[in-house]
């Protein structure tokens, strides 16, 4: 009897993990896979006029035009997002390093400060930057005296890249900080004892150990940045439009659902491919810390 | 020849004096232990030799030359850290090769040396393992190989065996000695385990509160402790406060609780009336009637309070009339079966079984030092 009860308990226990997983699985099915399927179907539909209902007819033309008409916008989006990611690493890493190694008892406060901008809406912050960088702003007029009167910041690619860098910076700093925080900095003493300089110890020990943070941060910055439209819209010009701007315009202004859907799918596929290549390249497996 | 010498080292942290006048010579190929209770400054001393900290005053000499504020990477000291500090992102071989690569050695030599060193520490075949894929003892060996690869002037080991269990610790103690003999480098070994220090060291520096109480061979330290602290810290000791009554040549007469005792002067001259400490090791304390080796040194009336069979010896605890606890380790020739708890006994010792520590004993410290229980029980 007792043995019977035991095996029953075991059998029940075997299904417990699936039971616990099911809310997550149902969530994913309902709110991710189903919408993606709908999106995919829409991307292969035709919509003859602005207010007509799209009809599904394997319209692969939406995809060819995604490349032929918007190829350059895709390239621009990835270049901007990539540049913003690199800038975020260059600015965020030293900051995270400084907080992790020199923060002492102020660490938590300093990390809190990194998150403070999130208390204001993303949209408001971006609009605020557009007025700070505007041509008539004292900052820009002062710089015009140095660089000539046609110097401007707003509506240039650098304004968009700067906006992306600024808006996603926290997503870079936090994971890098977390991975640096886990590192036992006595390892640098061990390296020094073996004859290594401070820089050598950083390059061969600390940096490799913090790469998982850099990797996570890059994804968290690059992916949303590549699909972003707010920065391009408020800080850029039509010449600096990104793929997010186009998708938003197609969906909400022109009601061209099939084209917008095709662009979204292409963006998703390219980003996934890039992430896969990137993770192979940075090989996070060997870095079990 | 002296490889490392520290001279009158003083080190403070704020108001706290961590080291005070530490002076010590370490000869080439010598195995020296820093032994002392927690917080006495062992790690601090080691870090000053390695160059991670700088002394407030005093000097560190390597091969006779004083080294000033030279950073660790230009000292060529090897350090084995208590927590190993292996680089988690590198394999065993790469950890060992680190010091060679820093010195820009040719790749071929790096590989050969790393393999050699891993072989020396008995880790052939584990070259490709990452630290998290190795046991504590194996990580310890990698740390050792890594620190030795550059053939440092001295190898500094900070409680390297502290994290290992007893069995493995004993294996590693022998391994360390073997490796030290093979490489012939000075080992400076920090430990708070007196047994470990006794078995491994050529010389031991017993430290308390930032200074060395005694520096000597294990035999000297065990049989001729310079202070009551050393006597109690190394092994178990029965300590009795005594007063000098007279000295005739090599023989000193003292009065203690429960009688008149005799001890050797060991070349020292004692002032009549001065307070000193008489030490009798548990293996030299026997019940009267048991064979004494040499002339009698004294005896004391007591009551047996406990008898514990410990294999080779019976641990016999007695209490004197004055309420002082003493411990004797009785072998078969001492006939422990004739004793029973609660019965009176006269404990005796030979004149050579006693030793006079030239220092007054705080009366609260009279009796057996309990180091044995604290240490081996842990
Ligand atoms: N950075 C520091 N700041 C202030 N005090 C310190 C510092 N480092 C060590 N100390 C103090 O100096 C004393 C000696 O420390 P040390 O680490 O050398 O002890 P230890 O003998 O190695 O002890 P243990 O056996 O516990 O490792 C301790 O009382 C410690 O509190
Ligand atoms: Mg220590």
Three-class SS string for chain B? CEEEEEEEEEEEECCEEEEEEEEEEEECCCEEEEECCCCCCHHHHHHHHHCCCCCCEEEEEECCEEECCCCHHHCCCEEECCCCCCCCCCCHHHHHHHHHHHCCCCHHHHHHHHHHHHHHCCCCCCCCCCHHHCCHHHHHHHHHHHHHCCCCCEEEEECCCCCCCHHHHHHHHHHHHHHHHHHCCEEEEEECCHHHHHHHCCEEEEEECCEEEEEECHHHHHHCCCCHHHHHHCCCCEEEEEEEEEEECCEEEEEECCEEEEEECCCCCCCCCCEEEEEECHHHCEEECECCCCCEEEEEEEEEEEEEECCCCEEEEEEECCCCEEEEEECHHHCHHHCCCCCEEEEEEEHHHEEEECCCCCHHHCEECCHHHHHHHC
Beta bridge partners of A221: none
Q: Is the Cα torsion angle B216, B220, B221, B227 positive or negative in sign?
A: negative
Average pLDDT over residues A62-69: 93
Chain A hits for B89, CB-CB cut-off 8 Å, are: 205, 208-209, 286-287, 289
For residue A167, being part of any structural domain is answered with: yes
Of the residues B191, B221, B251, which one is the last residue of a structural domain? B221
For residue A250, give the CATH number of its domain.
1.10.3720.10
Please tell me whether residues B153 and B117 are part of one structural domain. yes
> B186-191 and B154-158 as β-strands: parallel, antiparallel, unpaired?
parallel
Please tell me whether residues B246 and B291 are part of one structural domain. yes
Q: What's the CA gap between B3 and B26, in Å, rounded?
A: 6
For residue B277, being part of any structural domain is answered with: yes
For residue B375, being part of any structural domain is answered with: no
Q: Can you give the residue range of the structural domain that contains B217?
A: 2-221
Position in ligand 1 atom list of the atom nearest CA B42: 21
Please tell me whether residues B10 and B140 are part of one structural domain. yes
Average pLDDT over residues B279-301: 86
Average pLDDT over residues B224-249: 89
In terms of Cα–Cα distance, which of A252, A245, A260 is closest to A40? A260
The 10s digit of each residue's pLDDT in B44-80 is: 999 999 999 999 999 999 988 888 888 898 888 999 9
Please tell me whether residues B319 and B170 are part of one structural domain. no
Residue A8: the pLDDT is: 56
Judge whether residue B230 has pLDDT over 60. Answer: yes
Say if the Cβ atoms of A196 and B146 lie within 8 Å. Answer: no
Q: Which residues touch B183 (CB under 8 Å, ≥6 apart)?
A: B120, B148, B151
Q: Six-digit token pair at B338? A: 């004739």
Residue B372: the pLDDT is: 44
Domain count, chain B: 2
pTM to 2 decimal places: 0.79
Please tell me whether residues B192 and B324 are part of one structural domain. no
- Interface residue A200 vs chain B (CB under 8 A): yes
Judge whether residue A122 has pLDDT over 80. Answer: yes
For residue A193, being part of any structural domain is answered with: yes
Please tell me whether residues B20 and B56 are part of one structural domain. yes
Please tell me whether residues B11 and B127 are part of one structural domain. yes
Please tell me whether residues B63 and B181 are part of one structural domain. yes
- Interface residue B275 vs chain A (CB under 8 A): no
Three-state secondary structure call for residue A232: helix
Chain A hits for B94, CB-CB cut-off 8 Å, are: none
Q: B28: left (phi > 0), else alpha (psi -120 to 50), else beta?
A: beta
Cβ atoms within 10 A of the Cβ of B149, count?
25
Residue of minimum CA distance from atom 17 in ligand 1: B43
The 10s digit of each residue's pLDDT in B48-57 is: 999 999 999 9
Say if the Cβ atoms of A205 and B87 lie within 8 Å. Answer: yes
User: Which of A183, A185, A186, A193 is best to mutate for the B interface (most B CBs within 10 A)?
Assistant: A193
In terms of Cα–Cα distance, which of A91, A97, A83 is closest to A203? A97
CA of B77 to the centre of ligand 1 (A): 21
For residue A33, being part of any structural domain is answered with: no
Q: Can you give the residue range of the structural domain that contains A188?
A: 69-282
Q: What's the CA gap between A107 and B246, in Å, rounded?
A: 68
B 142-201 residues with CB < 8 A to A: 146-147, 149-150
Domain count, chain A: 1
Quote the mean pLDDT of chain A.
89
Judge whether residue B298 has pLDDT over 80. Answer: yes
State percent of chain A over pLDDT 90. Answer: 70
Residue A79: the pLDDT is: 97
Q: Six-digit token pair at A136? A: 């008539």
Beta bridge partners of B367: B239
Residue of minimum CA distance from atom 12 in ligand 1: B18
Among the partner residues B71, B81, B103, nearest to A190 by beta-carbon distance: B81
For residue B226, being part of any structural domain is answered with: no
Average pLDDT over residues B158-172: 87
Whose tokens are 């052939």? That residue is B124
Residue B378: the pLDDT is: 33
For residue B117, give the CATH number of its domain.
3.40.50.300
The 10s digit of each residue's pLDDT in A173-207 is: 999 999 999 999 999 999 999 999 999 999 999 99
In terms of Cα–Cα distance, which of B183, B240, B197, B257 is closest to B356? B240
């Amino acid at each position: 009897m007792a043995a019977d009860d035991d095996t029953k308990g075991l059998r029940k226990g075997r299904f417990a993990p699936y039971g616990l997983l099911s809310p997550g699985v149902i969530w994913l099915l309902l709110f991710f896979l189903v919408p993606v399927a709908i999106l995919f179907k829409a991307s292969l539909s035709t919509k003859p006029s602005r207010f007509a209902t799209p009809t599904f007819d394997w319209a692969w033309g939406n995809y060819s035009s995604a490349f032929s008409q918007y190829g350059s916008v895709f390239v621009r989006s990835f270049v901007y997002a990539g540049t913003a990611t690199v800038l975020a690493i260059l600015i965020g890493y030293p900051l995270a390093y400084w907080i992790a190694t020199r923060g002492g008892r102020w660490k938590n406060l300093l990390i809190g400060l990194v998150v403070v901008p999130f208390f204001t809406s993303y949209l408001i912050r971006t609009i605020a930057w557009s007025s700070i960088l505007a041509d008539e702003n004292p900052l820009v007029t002062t710089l015009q005296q140095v660089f000539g009167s046609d110097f401007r910041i707003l509506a240039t690619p650098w304004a968009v890249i700067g906006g992306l860098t600024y808006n996603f910076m926290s997503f870079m700093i936090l994971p890098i900080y977390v991975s640096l925080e886990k590192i036992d900095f006595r390892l640098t003493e061990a390296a020094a004892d073996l004859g290594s300089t401070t820089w050598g110890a950083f390059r061969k020990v600390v940096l490799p150990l913090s790469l998982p943070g850099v990797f996570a941060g890059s994804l968290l910055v690059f992916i949303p940045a590549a699909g972003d439209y707010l920065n391009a819209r408020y800080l850029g010009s039509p010449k600096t439009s990104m793929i997010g701007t186009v998708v938003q315009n197609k969906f909400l202004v022109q009601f061209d659902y099939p084209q917008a859907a095709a662009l979204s799918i292409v963006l998703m596929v390219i980003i996934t491919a890039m992430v896969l290549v990137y993770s192979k390249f940075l090989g996070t497996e060997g870095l079990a810390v | 020849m002296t490889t490392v010498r520290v001279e009158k080292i003083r080190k403070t942290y704020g108001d706290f004096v961590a080291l005070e006048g530490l002076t010590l010579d370490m000869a080439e190929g010598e195995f020296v232990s820093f032994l002392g209770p927690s917080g006495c400054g062992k790690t601090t001393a080691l870090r000053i030799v390695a160059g991670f900290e700088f002394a407030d005053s005093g000097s560190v000499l390597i091969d006779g030359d004083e080294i000033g504020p030279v950073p660790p990477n230009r000292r060529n000291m090897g350090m084995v850290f208590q927590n190993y500090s292996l680089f988690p992102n590198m394999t065993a071989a790469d950890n060992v090769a680190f010091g060679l690569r820093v010195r820009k050695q040719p790749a071929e030599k790096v590989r050969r040396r790393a393999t050699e060193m891993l072989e020396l520490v008995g880790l052939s075949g584990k070259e490709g393992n990452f630290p998290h894929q190795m046991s504590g003892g194996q990580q310890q060996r990698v740390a050792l190989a890594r620190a030795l690869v550059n053939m440092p002037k001295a190898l500094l080991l900070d409680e390297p065996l502290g994290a290992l269990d007893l069995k493995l610790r004993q294996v590693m103690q022998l391994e360390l000695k073997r490796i030290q003999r093979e490489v012939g480098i000075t080992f400076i070994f920090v430990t708070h385990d007196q047994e470990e220090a006794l078995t491994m060291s050529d010389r031991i520096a017993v430290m308390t509160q930032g200074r060395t109480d005694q520096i000597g061979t294990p035999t000297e330290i065990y049989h001729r402790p310079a202070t009551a602290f050393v006597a109690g810290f190394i092994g178990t000791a029965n300590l009795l406060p005594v007063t000098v009554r007279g000295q005739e040549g090599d023989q000193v007469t003292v009065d203690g609780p429960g009688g008149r005792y005799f001890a050797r002067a060991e070349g020292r001259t004692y002032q009549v009336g001065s307070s000193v400490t008489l030490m009798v090791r548990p293996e030299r304390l026997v019940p009267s009637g048991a064979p004494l080796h040499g002339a009698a040194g004294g005896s004391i009336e007591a009551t047996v309070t406990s008898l514990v069979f410990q294999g080779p010896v019976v641990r016999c605890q007695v209490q004197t009339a004055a309420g002082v606890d003493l411990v004797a380790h009785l072998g078969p020739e001492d006939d422990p079966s004739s004793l029973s708890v609660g019965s009176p006994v006269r404990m005796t010792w030979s004149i050579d079984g006693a030793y006079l520590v030239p220092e007054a004993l705080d009366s609260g410290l009279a009796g057996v030092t309990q180091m044995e229980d604290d240490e081996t029980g842990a």
